[in-house]
Amino acid sequence: MHTKRAGELMVPLDHYPHIPYWFTIRQAVAEMETAEIDRDGRRSVPRAVLVFDEAYRLMGFVRRRDILRGLLPNFLQNNMGQHQGKMFDILVDPNLSEVFSDEETDEIRELAGKPISTVMNPIVHTASYDDHLLKVVREMVVNNYYMLPVQKDGKVVGVVRSLDVLHEIAGLIL
């Protein structure tokens, strides 16, 4: 049985949302809201948007939660660090919904005008177009990634997602 390579598993770049680094958070949200990926009849929405520079070199990516963090009003950001790593041990103010006002809505709208680069994560690892499925799996598992940009001849040509990798693995073991 032929085991696929990263280039065969990837979503081509022209089918994956990507934006320049000077776009705003608002523009990134608009891109994510309209993006849909169709792979072999299976539709999904992207978990991230890729970010490129002027020369179309990949700089980073922005996940949904990065966007949400970038839109969080200042008064809610206080002491966020003390709860890091304690996902289910967070005290929530039951009156929080009562303090959300037009002022906070205005602040969120203002924050949406910030450049996406302010909440972007740098790209540290990529896959090569010819990388074997197991190498892709290893990179994803070791580095806790759900997607890897795929490079061919020094350029990003697509993204291999954990969703597609798992689908390929399912075909091998089921």
Q: Out of 2-11, 95-104, 110-119, 152-161, which region has the weakest mean confidence (pLDDT)?
A: 95-104
Please check whether residue 26 is in contact with residue 57, taking contact to mean a CB–CB distance below 8 angstroms: no
The pLDDT of residue 103: 79
pLDDT mean over 70-79: 74
The pLDDT of residue 105: 84
* Global pTM value: 0.82
Please name every residue paired with 43 in a beta bridge, in sequence order, or none if there are none. Answer: 38
The pLDDT of residue 121: 95
The position carrying tokens 């795929």 is 150
pLDDT digits (tens, 9 = 90+) for 22-65: 999 999 999 999 999 998 888 999 999 999 999 999 999 999 99
Mean pLDDT over the full length of the chain: 88
Q: Helix or strand or coil: residue 169? A: helix
CATH of 6-173, one of 3.10.580.10, 3.40.640.10, 3.60.15.10, 3.40.50.300: 3.10.580.10
In this structure, are strands 48-52 and 58-63 parallel, antiparallel, or unpaired?
antiparallel
Q: Out of 36-50, 59-73, 92-106, which region has the weakest mean confidence (pLDDT)?
A: 92-106
| Residue 27 falls in which region: left (phi positive, over 0), alpha (psi -120 to 50) or beta | alpha
**55 CB neighbour count, 10 Å cutoff:** 5
